[in-house]
Structure 1
């Protein structure tokens, strides 16, 4: 396996200036905070990255800049969320040319593809790239489910290696393990089910609130991995009200406000998104403020695997 599907991989936000261009300075600040916390990879251009509003050239700039910032410390993945198979193949090729080491792939956008169409879409991209692929399975938000029977066919492609498991069905982790063993790595994709999924055998966590709270997120992963479940659980219980900001249509605005609170982001979003206002903003700020007031003191969580 060319990419280690494990640990915490932030689905990072895209930073914009007040003039709606890429804010690469703040973007670098955030990426360095993620690296300092000990993340295991960086995922670009997902929902949190406002991919649907990014120009192709902006995606390319983000990939190239991130590759420079991480300097080989962790793999950089680019999300592929396209309307056509042709477009998805081109996006995968561009990501590879720009230095990405892996792909996160959604089913076709806008058109609700059938099972056979979805399988052929993923296979066509897999057969036209050397990059390892993580299938993003999120039927709640994207209305297409990649079933275990579909994965039977997809796994004939050697470079389809992982799933971002976002079905919200915690027992699906066990189903996948029972059926595919280690052939299909599982990265949990729902912040509010993250610890539960890891304890059931998920290999890692594609995280959202990590964008604002990288150390707390990585600590939960590392502590549970080392068998220090109660310590992980205590942090997770503190974290849950903040994690719930991720399972909301305004997750981008919510998490960017949290990034402001921790000093590693701004709340600038790209239209049609607009910053939160009124009662909605007040409620989110109150959740963030409480989280900041009660932010836990973390144990030393790095290198735990070497100590057990």
Structure 2
């Protein structure tokens, strides 16, 4: 299957049982909800996937299970978030062996690498896998920025093909397009800037609240792509209070709680995380319940004709 760098790709949560094992049955329910909504890929092992708490064996199980569930409908990508170059290369090779068709990749974890170290790190992994790579650029949370000058060097590798743009600087999308054209595909990685980013030319959306609200997320993408901006805006404005749950330190717990109330997840997280409790849980629940109570009726977003744009 060809990996097309476009559309909505959920950064899916990892489902756990009450005794802290992988809940593959509930995981399958959620993945099928994503597929039914029309997502364009599945990304495993990101921040929302609680990657830092997963064993290598669990990551392999999740890739193989997801590949079996999607059955060729969409590509499966694995996030690489490792402390060493050696570990990142091994993780990339394992993901490829397990059936992943692409990688999302963070700079080195824990150690705050310099620019040349980051470039060398990405190049080393790219040179040891045939899988296409999306660089996850999130200096806000991970304290390392992959600059355009660094991308200039990285793009010497044909399989470095996309960026998950999470700098929170909306104008960076235009800078990337002006510098690299179609050579570097752009995915917005911040839910609260998603529609703005798509309208500025981003090719896709690595989404978070999609885990609980898959149809609404895909509808926004498809509507704006077809030129139905007003209709996309109406859904996006309804969605924004929920999307803000993604830019919170407790984003995993927030989104898992939302999954409970839309019937496609559970609150179980892996320690040291704990489920939301007390006043904050009630605040998040209030946002979720209001969102569900006012959920918009969606158009037939899977069968849109291209809207004519008057010049």
TM-score (norm 2): 0.98
Partners of 2:175 and 2:201 lie apart in 1 by 11
User: Superposition pairs for residues 277-292 of structure 1, below 5 Å?
Assistant: 277-292=277-292
User: Superposition pairs for residues 143-158 of structure 1, below 5 Å?
Assistant: 143-158=143-158
Q: What number of residue pairs does the alignment pair up?
A: 308
Partners of 1:204 and 1:170 lie apart in 2 by 14
- 1:208 is matched with 208
- 2:162 is matched with 162
Partners of 1:212 and 1:13 lie apart in 2 by 10
User: Superposition pairs for residues 126-141 of structure 1, below 5 Å?
Assistant: 126-141=126-141
- 2:228 is matched with 228
- 1:76 is matched with 76
Q: Secondary structure at the match of 1:46?
A: coil
- 1:270 is matched with 270
Q: Is the 8 A contact 1:162 1:187 kept in 2?
A: yes
Partners of 1:255 and 1:86 lie apart in 2 by 33
RMSD: 1.1
Q: Secondary structure at the match of 1:197?
A: helix
Partners of 2:124 and 2:304 lie apart in 1 by 41
C-alpha spacing 1:229/1:307, structure 2 compared with 1 (3 Å): closer
Q: CA deviation at 1:306?
A: 6.9
User: Superposition pairs for residues 84-123 of structure 1, below 5 Å?
Assistant: 84-123=84-123
- 1:8 is matched with 8
User: Superposition pairs for residues 56-71 of structure 1, below 5 Å?
Assistant: 56-71=56-71
Q: Secondary structure at the match of 1:48?
A: coil
Q: CA deviation at 1:75?
A: 0.2
Partners of 1:17 and 1:195 lie apart in 2 by 34
Partners of 1:12 and 1:184 lie apart in 2 by 24
Partners of 2:25 and 2:209 lie apart in 1 by 20
Per-residue CA deviations over 1:166-196 (Å, capped at 9, x if unaligned) read: 0000000000000000000000000000000
Q: CA deviation at 1:150?
A: 0.2
Q: Is the 8 A contact 2:212 2:259 kept in 1?
A: yes
Q: CA deviation at 1:271?
A: 0.2
Partners of 1:297 and 1:261 lie apart in 2 by 18
- 2:239 is matched with 239
Structure 1: state its 5+ residue gaps. none
Partners of 1:77 and 1:145 lie apart in 2 by 22
Partners of 2:152 and 2:305 lie apart in 1 by 33
- 2:193 is matched with 193
Q: CA deviation at 1:123?
A: 0.2
Q: Secondary structure at the match of 1:302?
A: helix
Per-residue CA deviations over 1:116-146 (Å, capped at 9, x if unaligned) read: 0000000000000000000000000000000
Q: Is the 8 A contact 1:7 1:205 kept in 2?
A: yes
Q: Is the 8 A contact 2:226 2:306 kept in 1?
A: no
Per-residue CA deviations over 1:55-80 (Å, capped at 9, x if unaligned) read: 00000000000000000000000000
Partners of 2:162 and 2:31 lie apart in 1 by 23
- 1:300 is matched with 300
Q: CA deviation at 1:3?
A: 1.5
Q: Is the 8 A contact 1:2 1:132 kept in 2?
A: no
Q: CA deviation at 1:54?
A: 0.3
Q: CA deviation at 1:94?
A: 0.2
Q: Is the 8 A contact 2:228 2:307 kept in 1?
A: no
C-alpha spacing 1:149/1:281, structure 2 compared with 1 (3 Å): same
- 2:40 is matched with 40
Partners of 1:239 and 1:258 lie apart in 2 by 13
Q: Secondary structure at the match of 1:116?
A: helix
Shift >3 Å, 4+ stretches: 305-308
Partners of 2:280 and 2:184 lie apart in 1 by 39
C-alpha spacing 1:224/1:20, structure 2 compared with 1 (3 Å): same
